[in-house]
Amino acid sequence: MRAWNAIDQEAGLSVDEWTPLPYPEPFHWHTELEIGCCLSGKGLFHFGDKTYEARPGDVFVVNNLERHIAQSDEHDPSRYAFVFFDPAVLLKENRELLLPFLYHPPRFTNRIPASDATSARIGRLVAALLEEQRERSPGYQTMMRSLLLEICVLLFRHYGDGLPTADLTGAYARYERIQPALAYMKRHFREDLQVANIASIMRLSHSRAAHVFAETVGEGFKEHLLHLRINEAKRLLVQTRLSVIEVCLQSGFQSVTPFYRAFRRIVGLAPQAYREMAGVLGIAHPQ
DNA sequence: CACGACCTGGGTATATATGT
DNA sequence: ACATATATACCCAGGTCGTG
């Protein structure tokens, strides 16, 4: 429930500081990968059914499918640096670096505690990322990519040790199978998408494609499409002055009824109320 | 993994209510 | 008045399950 910095297209990543609200907001989810680093204060970090305590120095790993939200302690609000990046950044360098993000949510530990040497090193790298993004000295985008890669190698070593290689290759195989469909949906969610579209991309029958999709992604095709559209609607509501109807249509909905229905179910508020709240919280104008 | 059959949820169209 | 939000009914497509 906030407006992220736009991801620098050339660098493929962004990092920004943020203080979560002191009560649990609705879960959210995004197509970018995310690494959160608790800088100060304390609070909670919710991932689906899992809840972690957050203390300064803790590092949190978030993939592109798991629902999550951070929450501040009422008396000692937490402050985070969040790194967002496109999976493509890692794919270009070394596909292995994606593996830590291909976890199975129920068995995965999203937090690397501050006591772990890995989080201390990652903390320093995230600080360097913030510095690079602030200064924007010549070549900063390359430097930021380089720092991100270093962070991801540390994550790979950290998680790689504990996991059987069979799990990792299995996770990677599943990701390979579903990735083209996810990428297609991310590009085309504003259009009239059907399972048939991703079925042909995956070279499977409708029913098989739907089955594989739900098994891998953890939600069905329709639901995933709905989340993409609602995420876009939230962005448009906060970052533009388009009318709610325009937001609805530009998000890929063909009419307003399903838009209102889905928005209230997923976000917990009506679109207009969400826009007003975003304004009150000062997140309408990032940075 | 393909196919077919069935059931349900969600999209469409339309009308209506609320709010500025 | 106009935009925003909700309500109702119809119907199709996605999900599911059994079969092979």
Digit-coded pLDDT (tens) for A140-157: 999 999 999 999 999 989
Residue A75 to residue A51: CA distance in whole angstroms: 19
Cα→Cα distances A13→A55, A142, A143, Å: 25, 11, 11
Q: Is A7 helix (H, G, I), strand (E, B) or coil?
A: coil
What does the pLDDT read at residue A286? 31
Contact A87, A21 (CB under 8 A): no
Query: A169: pLDDT confidence band, cut at 50, 70 and 90?
Result: low
**Is strand C within 7 Å of residue A91 (CB)?**
no
User: Which nucleotide is at minimal CA–C1' distance from A205?
Assistant: B2
Alpha carbons within 13 A on the beta-carbon side of A94: 12
Nucleotide nearest to A270 (CA to C1'): C5
Is residue A5 pLDDT above 60, yes or no? Answer: no
Residue A2, pLDDT > 50, answer no
Span A41-76, pLDDT tens digits:
999 998 877 889 999 999 999 887 777 889 899 899
What's the CA A259/C1' B14 distance, rounded, in angstroms?
Answer: 16
Residues 229-268 of A with CB under 7 A from strand C: 243-245, 256-257, 260, 264
**Residue A194, CB, less than 7 Å from strand C?**
yes
Across A192-213, average pLDDT: 75
Q: At what angle are helices A206-217 and A195-202 packed, to 10 degrees?
A: 90
Band of the pLDDT at A121, cuts 50, 70, 90? very high
More confident site: A187 or A155: A155
Q: What angle do CA A183, A206, A260 make, to 5 degrees?
A: 65
CATH, range A13-160: 2.60.120.280
pLDDT number for residue A168: 57
Among candidate residues A10, A37, A285, A1, the one with its CA nearest the CA of residue A141: A10
Residue by residue, DSSP assigns A54-121 as: E-TT-EEEE-SS--EEEEE-SSS--EEEEEEE-HHHHHHH-GGGGGGGS--GGG---EE-TTSHHHHH
Query: pLDDT above 90 covers what percent of chain A?
Result: 27
CB-proximal positions of chain C, under 7 Å: 3-9, 13-18
Q: For residue A177, which nucleotide's C1' is closest to its Cα? A: B1
Q: Is the pLDDT of residue A162 over 70?
A: no
Residues 6 or more apart whose Cβ sits within 8 Å of residue A269: A263, A277
pTM, full prediction: 0.71
Order the strands of the A68-72 sheet from edge to edge: A50-54, A43-47, A68-72
Domain spans, chain A:
13-160, 165-218, 228-281
Rounded Cα–Cα distance for residues A150 and A93 (Å) = 11
Span A23-29, average pLDDT: 67
Q: What pLDDT score was predicted for residue A123?
A: 95
Of A94, A97, A150, give the one whose Cα is nearest residue A122. A150
Tell which wins on pLDDT, A94 or A285.
Answer: A94
- What is the CATH code of the structural domain delimited by A228-281? 1.10.10.60
pLDDT for res A59: 96
Instruction: Answer whether residue A198 shows pLDDT above 50.
Output: yes
Q: How many residues in total does chain A contain? A: 287
CA distance A278 to A214: 32
Mean predicted lDDT score pLDDT of chain A: 79
Which residue is listed with tokens 């009419």?
A: A255
pLDDT in tens, A253-274: 877 777 887 787 777 777 777 7
The predicted structure's pLDDT at residue A252: 80
Q: Closest Cα to residue A82, out of A138, A137, A28, A139? A: A28
What is residue A163's predicted lDDT score, i.e. its pLDDT?
59
Gap from A243 CA to C5 C1', Å = 13
Instruction: Give the pLDDT confidence score for residue A229 in this predicted structure.
Output: 82
For strands A59-62 and A33-40, give the pairing: antiparallel
* Band of residue A287 on the pLDDT scale cut at 50, 70, 90: very low
Quote the pLDDT of residue A208: 75
Q: A40 CA to B15 C1', in Å?
A: 53
Q: Whose CA is nearest the C1' atom of nucleotide C8?
A: A257
Chain B nucleotides reached by a protein CB under 7 Å:
1-5, 10-15
Predicted confidence at residue A4, as pLDDT, reads 47
Quick check: A80 pLDDT over 90?
Answer: yes
The amino acid occupying position A269 is L
Q: Which residue is nearest to nucleotide C13 (CA to C1')?
A: A194
**Is the pLDDT reported for residue A7 higher than 70?**
no
Quick one: pLDDT at residue A279?
A: 59
Confidence of residue A1 (pLDDT cuts 50, 70, 90): very low
Q: Which nucleotide is nearest to A260 (CA to C1')?
A: C5
The protein residue nearest B13 (Cα–C1') is A255
The contacts of residue A240 (CB under 8 Å, 6+ apart) are A247
Residue at minimal CA–C1' distance from B2? A205
Q: What is the 3-state secondary structure (H, E, C) of A104-140?
A: CHHHCCCEECCCCHHHHHHHHHHHHHHHHHHHCCCCH
CA distance A261 to A246: 16
